[in-house]
């Protein structure tokens, strides 16, 4: 019975080692959420309300932000010191419960009339200030927010300079995603405009992904373990 038990233990070790070769591991490197294709936008006329200044929902119109072309979702104008606020409810259901909000926004390229180059943007989660941003003309800004237990999101825009003409702030992406910020691997810009890949609360960097060489070395180690296992099994059978 002891011999059979030893064989069973060795067999289990072999299965675990084989699982490592096949990629069956509790650690997943760079895995994206399986339900990430089910993406909805935070911004909609039914679930958002706006106040102050001029604002407009996009209808397929293109805008250039950060030298990239986008169909914008929403446009806000906070000229002459006005403040514009847009507040949106997060609609959840039994089959839809997003955890991460990805926002992409900025000032349109070439909007340099009267040398107005920056805007102050503040993001609120359930009425609490989360991130203040200084948005710079000609840059695409990207924010990632944990909305797992959040019911509403507000975006407030205000000029940081004296303005004598209309100037537009554009939101080009407001995707609500399943999974955490880490799982979605969102490449974001920090509020002070220093590009950085930010994971959870904008202060923990992601562990580096495994390289091909790492996989080869792991496979070689597993092959050696399997070979040792085979030799031990042969020694046990010699007892009979």
Give 229's pLDDT tier (boundaries 50, 70, 90).
confident
pLDDT at 18 over 60: no
Q: What is the pLDDT of residues 184-211, one digit of tens each?
A: 767 666 555 443 333 333 333 333 445 5
The pLDDT of 64-70, averaged and rounded, is: 91
Lowest mean pLDDT among 103-107, 123-127, 145-149, 201-205: 201-205
Query: What values do phi and psi take at 188, rounded to 5?
Result: -120, 165
Contact criterion met (CB below 8 Å) for 83 and 51? no
Tell me, what's the pLDDT at 97?
Answer: 87
The secondary structure of the chain, three-state, reads: CHHHHHHHHHHHHHHHHHHHHHCCCCCCCCCCCCCCCCCEECCCCCCEEEECCEEEECCCCEEEECCEEEECCEEEECHHHCEEEEEEECCCECCECCCEEEEEEEECCCCCHHHCCEEEEEEEECCEEEEEEEEECCCCEEEEEECCCCCEEEEEEEECCCCCCCCEEEEEEEEEECCCHHHHCCEEECCCCCEEECEHHHHECCCCCCCHHHHHHHHHHHHHHHHHHHHHHHHHHHCC
Rounded CA-CA distance 121/131 in Å is 8
Q: What is the pLDDT of residues 71-122, one digit of tens each?
A: 999 988 766 667 889 999 998 888 888 889 999 999 888 755 555 678 889 9
Cα dihedral 40, 45, 48, 51 in deg (nearest 10) = 150
pLDDT at 156 over 90: yes
Contact criterion met (CB below 8 Å) for 166 and 54? yes
pLDDT at 146 over 70: yes
181 Rama class: left (phi>0) / alpha (psi -120 to 50) / beta: alpha
Rounded CA-CA distance 16/35 in Å is 28
Rounded CA-CA distance 99/181 in Å is 8
pLDDT at 66 over 80: yes
Tell me, what's the pLDDT at 5?
Answer: 46
Give 26's pLDDT tier (boundaries 50, 70, 90).
very low
């Amino acid at each position: 019975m002891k011999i059979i038990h030893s064989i069973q233990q060795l067999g289990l070790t072999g299965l675990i080692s084989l699982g490592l070769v096949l990629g069956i591991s509790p650690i997943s490197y760079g895995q994206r959420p399986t339900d990430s294709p089910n993406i909805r936008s935070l911004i909609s006329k039914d679930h958002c309300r706006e106040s102050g200044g001029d604002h407009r929902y996009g209808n397929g119109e293109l805008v250039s932000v950060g030298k990239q072309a986008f169909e914008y979702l929403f446009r806000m104008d906070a000229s002459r010191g006005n403040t514009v606020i847009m507040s949106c409810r997060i609609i959840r259901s039994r089959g839809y419960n997003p955890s991460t909000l990805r926002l992409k926004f900025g000032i349109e390229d070439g909007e340099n009339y009267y040398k107005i180059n920056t805007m102050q943007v503040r993001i609120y989660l359930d009425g609490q200030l989360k991130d203040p941003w200084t948005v710079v003309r000609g840059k695409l800004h990207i924010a990632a927010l944990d909305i797992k237990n959040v019911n509403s999101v507000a975006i407030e825009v205000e000029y940081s300079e004296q303005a004598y003409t209309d100037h537009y702030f554009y939101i080009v992406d407001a995707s609500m995603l399943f999974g955490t910020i880490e799982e979605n691997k969102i490449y974001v810009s920090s509020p002070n405009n220093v590009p950085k890949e930010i994971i959870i609360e904008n202060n923990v960097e992601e562990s580096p992904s495994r390289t091909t060489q790492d996989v080869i070395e792991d496979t070689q180690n597993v092959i050696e373990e399997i070979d040792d296992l085979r030799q031990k099994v042969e020694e046990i059978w010699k007892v009979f």
